[in-house]
A and B are shown apart, each in its own frame.
Chain A
Amino acid sequence: MSTSETEYLENVANQEYEHGWRTDIESETLPEGLDENIVRYISERKDEPEWLLEWRLKAFRYFERQVEEGNYPDWAHLDYERPDFQDMRYFSAPKEKASYDSLDEVPDEILETFERLGIPLEEQKALTGVAVDAVMDSVSVATTFKKKLKEKGVIFMSFGEAAREHPEIVKKYLGRVVPYTDNLFAALNSAVFSDGSFVYVPEGVTCPMELSTYFRINDQNTGQFERTLIIAEPDSYVSYLEGCTAPMNQKHQLHAAVVELIAHEDAEIKYSTIQNWYPGTKDGEGGVYNLVTKRGICEGDRSKISWTQLETGSAVTQKYPSVILKGDESVGEFYSVAFTKGHQQADTGTKMHHIGKNTKSTIISKGISAGVSNNSYRGLVKVGKNAENARNFSQCDSLLLGDQCGAHTFPYIEIGNPSAKVEHEATTSKVGEDQMFYCHQRGLGEEEALKLIVNGFCQEILAELPMEFAVEAKELLAIELEGSVG
């Protein structure tokens, strides 16, 4: 490799994080540590019904047991110090008010925060047709376009509001897809989750706009535990996108979210993520531990759930957005780009669990590693014994930038029905000297060439993102690759 290319790749690997500023707003924060009182406090602060508190407490007890028994999910290809659950805060809210009825009430500093993130909450978004819910630390700050959605009967609000205003729906579905017994982090989230987004699309309704939530950790040493629940009634459609950033902190921060999706008969949910949590310094200090449980169920026949993710942030990422294909002829999709650089580590992939007949799943995963990072794909395709004619196609491609990073693929296949057809393809390639030379010979510099090659590598996935976010995603990738900046 040429010297300039090596230097360039080093710059890429060492490039500093762009969203590392902190908003200076007063916040109300709980002391560090976790016990039953903290759980009760959070529930009370959120004005929750009794049943929800009970559920949290059960989850908390389950969590405590898991910690005592040492059931830490450490089987992934990740190497990091386990978070000390007593050494972090579990609730932090901008002080003035816990929720806001209109944008006028939102403090300027918070609005500025979202402005800097490039998420104008104001009218501009109307033009792009995006309804935005913004979660800063633990509290949902503003949900725009409530009214327009209301006309269609679509409910899009913070989880806290939903628990108060639509308890019957929340109660019916909470924990249905990801029970608190699922894993230690799901249990922790269930006990202390502070807010998140709730979406309900009634029967026959196509949601008139893209729904979007931006999550931001602001306070130091605070864990972020949001919970998202999306329900698509029969014959409905919704596309939802979440974006995330965090300031630079010396200490590691824990992000343990839970996302549950339920698609009824003929319904479709498209869930996209642009994850850009703080990845830590170039020497591997600080950064977010992104340990997330995301799962959807295709409950009804002919329903469809599609996950698309662009993962560029976090020091450690462990997540496997999955689909349970219960309905006959249901469809599950997973499209992923995971980009790691510096000391980042990612172990991500999906589970496709075929239960219904004639179910179909597609997995396309693209891992890009730079610096001394490690990037793993881990996926399970499981075909139940009654899942006649299940089909799966999996493709996992890895691209290495430089020669000190790692790419790994761990595919698991469990077939319980002989009629299943499962295909798996995997490739690993280095950005070849030949490719770079070819680009240079046509007049392209290091940066242009690498951007072009990486964008080309991700093309299939970026094409799956909603239009307005595909542009954002490309820009994010470009920023990640920029050697000269920062």
Chain B
Amino acid sequence: MALLEVENLHVSVEDEDIEILKGVDLTINEGEVHAIMGPNGSGKSTLAAVLAGREEYVVTEGSIRYKGEDLLELEVEERAEEGVFLAFQYPVELPGVSMTNFLREAVNSVREARGEEELGAADFLKLVRERAKLVDLDPDLVKRSVNQGFSGGEKKRNEIFQLAMLEPTLAVLDETDSGLDIDALRTVSDGVNKLRSDERAFLLITHYQRLLDYIEPDYVHVMVNGRIAESGDKDLAIRLEEEGYERFQREPAAA
């Protein structure tokens, strides 16, 4: 059984008559790393948002099955508890909410859902230090408010740090590479590579092939105009970098 099965997914924006996803099919198995590339406005980030359960998107047709269950039936926090993690393209600031409190609540709510015991303060802090190291995040940042006053790079690293803390089954990274300089990109990629495992699948959403120089995907999909236009291995990404997306955009969409 596949971990994630997206079938003929059609998605519109709430209150507007605009269809963004026009029949997406995607299957991800445990332990696989998939990359979705595509031009601006092709629907990549919408797919990520729908997987996480963002409400302003309405699924009009098709299905998403996750671990064999209907994912669309689950609330946002239930999906998180079931191991769906979204690394945000624009991480949100929570003024006055300390990273420590936020993370402890998050970790324990996910652990509780998995039938694990709550982490005590000492174990929690140990885990924080260990996982912060993975993405080279200054552990002092954990004392600050969530994402407040973080630099762009720190925010992105903080997302991967949270990924490491929450140990999801399906991690969706929405343009985590955007806005990162080359060193930060390498750090973030190293973190992700260390987190790869047979039980954990990744869906990387990106504009650029350069991320895939650091994180080698098993599959690459090209999304154009709300559909996956072509799938292949990592060589497809290299070809795209050379040829651009134009070829796909010119082709008439298949029904």
Contact = CB atoms under 8 A, between A and B. Distances in A.
A438 B96 contact: no
A206 to B, nearest CB: 31
A458 interface: yes
Interface stretch (A36-44, A296-304, A347-355, A429-437): A429-437
A444 B105 contact: yes
Contacts of A456: 94-98, 145
Contacts of B54: 437
A452 B96 CA distance: 9
Given A441-B76, A443-B80, A444-B77, A455 B97 contact: yes
Nearest to A427: B95
B180 to A, nearest CB: 20
A456 B98 CA distance: 8
Contact of B106 (A433, A442, A458, A460): A442
Interface in A446-471: 448, 452-453, 455-460
A128 interface: no
A455 B96 contact: yes
A453 to B, nearest CB: 6
B75 interface: yes
B52 A441 contact: yes
Nearest to A463: B96
B77 A440 contact: yes
A4 B75 contact: yes
Contacts of B122: none
Nearest to A1: B55
A453 B76 contact: no
A2 interface: yes
Interface string A232-262: 0000000000000000000000000000000
Interface in B27-41: none
A453 B88 CA distance: 19
B189 interface: no
Contact of A438 (B53, B85, B91, B113): B91
Contacts, number: 76
Q: Find the residue from A442, A445, A456, A459 having the highest chain B CB count within 10 A.
A: A442
A434 B92 CA distance: 7
Contact of B92 (A435, A458, A460): A435
B21 to A, nearest CB: 19
Nearest to B85: A441
A458 B96 contact: yes
A443 B95 contact: no
Interface string A382-393: 000000000000
Contacts of A433: 55
A255 B137 CA distance: 53
A453 B148 CA distance: 13
B81 interface: yes
A365 to B, nearest CB: 14
Nearest to A2: B55
Given A432-B92, A443-B110, A452 B81 contact: no
A445 B101 contact: no
Nearest to B87: A441
Contacts of B206: none
B109 interface: yes
B96 A459 contact: yes
Contact of A442 (B80, B96, B145): B80
A309 to B, nearest CB: 18
Contact of B102 (A437, A452, A459): A452
Contacts of A443: 77, 80-81, 105-106, 109-110, 113, 166
Contacts of A434: 92
6 contacts: A432-B92, A438-B92, A440-B75, A440-B77, A442-B105, A456-B94
Given A438-B91, A438-B92, 13 more contacts: A2-B55, A437-B54, A438-B94, A441-B52, A441-B77, A443-B81, A443-B113, A443-B166, A444-B106, A444-B109, A452-B101, A455-B96, A459-B96
